[in-house]
Amino acid sequence: MSSGVASPTVGFVGLGTMGRGMARRLVAAGLAVEVYDVNQAAVDELVSAGATAAESLESLGGTRQVLMIAVVNDEQVRNVVGVPHKSGLLAHAAPGTVVLIHSTIHPDVCRELAELARLMDVTVLDAPMTGNPGAAAAGRLSVMVGGDAAALERARPALAAYAAQITHLGPVGAGQAAKIANNVAIAITLRAVREALALAEALGISSDAMLPLLASGGADSWVARNWRTIGETADGYPGGAQGLSDLTHKDVALALELAHRAGVAIPAGALTSQLLADAYTAAHADALAARAARSISSTGHEHVQEEE
């Protein structure tokens, strides 16, 4: 909050795997936060933390200066943003409102919604983020922003509550382009780590030994350092490991479409898109095995103490 810009009032839509932690950071930063989600339990959790609950998307859009969206796909984002003077956030949004789309969606959809919002003097920024639920809860996300620089500055005090890095990349759609390219790298690396661990295990080297080795040298990556965290995320994610795979597959499919349009070949991305489910299932299984081993170790330690 050191930029000197007054803290805006904030509306947050989408209290799922990432959004919950982001919204809690906004509340903890002392911002006036109003939340909306179809999951009443998620709303109740944020209200308990200090947020207020919006009656509807329409009422939320008319009362907050910065509106943040963290839902799943193009269709959901369109429904949330709505239609000027009719539905969604744009039904009653005031001139000067900034809408940030944190969801990873097609850049063209962001441009389309930005044009729609401009009719009401509302600015849409695409602001997808990279990180995991733990990073969201700790305020360590990296946010990639496309759109008007002045609008970004108005929203920056809110973004700073959960982002360690905020990068302005250009016009609307630029943030999505960067995020989609970023997710191709993550997807390919996920598959690479999965195969390295499978080979090591077949040769008698456990993932307990191999993961620190990967993270300590030339094979280091965010995936290697967070392999089991990725697996743990599947526990609470809708659809489990398959749900995570479907989410990443959506992003890689966007990358393949945009690459085709740009005349760029990304063959490793194309192959990886077919192998994601296996990688997420392996990460989940490894996380569960590690958890079970910790439990057995803890139980055994307690048993020894009892005998003493």
Asked if 19 and 139 sit in the same domain, the reply is yes
Beta carbons of 33 and 51 less than 8 angstroms apart: yes
Amino acid at position 297, single letter: S
Euclidean distance between CA atoms 130 and 143, whole angstroms: 7
Asked if 117 and 154 sit in the same domain, the reply is yes
Tell me: pLDDT of 27 over 80.
yes
Residue ending a domain, among 154, 170, 186, is 170
Residue 6 CA: distances (Å) to CA of 88, 163, 190: 26, 18, 41
Instruction: Return the pLDDT at 101.
Output: 98
Q: What is the pLDDT of residues 53-95, one digit of tens each?
A: 999 999 999 999 999 999 999 999 999 999 999 999 999 999 9
In a domain, 148, yes or no: yes
Asked if 217 and 276 sit in the same domain, the reply is yes
Number of domains in the chain: 2
- The stretch 2-9 carries a mean pLDDT of 69
Of 279, 276, 274, the residue nearest 248 (C-alpha): 276
In a domain, 305, yes or no: no
Q: What is the pLDDT of residues 211-233, one digit of tens each?
A: 999 999 999 999 999 999 999 99
Asked if 131 and 227 sit in the same domain, the reply is no
Residue ending a domain, among 170, 190, 220, is 170
Asked if 98 and 156 sit in the same domain, the reply is yes
Q: Using a cut of 0.95, tell me whether the model's pTM lies above it.
A: no
Say which CATH number the domain at 28 has.
Answer: 3.40.50.720
Asked if 198 and 229 sit in the same domain, the reply is yes
DSSP annotation of 132 reads: -
Tell me: pLDDT of 304 over 60.
no
Asked if 14 and 113 sit in the same domain, the reply is yes
**Per-residue confidence band for 187, with pLDDT thresholds at 50, 70 and 90:** very high
Euclidean distance between CA atoms 174 and 67, whole angstroms: 19
In a domain, 4, yes or no: no
Q: What is the pLDDT of residues 135-160, one digit of tens each?
A: 999 999 999 999 999 999 999 999 99
| Structure token digits, residue 155 | 């929203």
Asked if 30 and 166 sit in the same domain, the reply is yes
- The stretch 240-245 carries a mean pLDDT of 95
Instruction: Return the pLDDT at 308.
Output: 27
Asked if 97 and 218 sit in the same domain, the reply is no
Tell me: pLDDT of 3 over 50.
no
Residue ending a domain, among 170, 198, 214, is 170
Active-site annotation holds for 179: yes
For the beta carbon of residue 295, count every other beta carbon within 10 angstroms. 10
Instruction: Return the pLDDT at 217.
Output: 95
Candidate list 111, 168, 179, 284, residue with the active-site label: 179
Asked if 73 and 145 sit in the same domain, the reply is yes
In a domain, 308, yes or no: no
Q: Which residues span the domain enclosing 238? A: 177-299
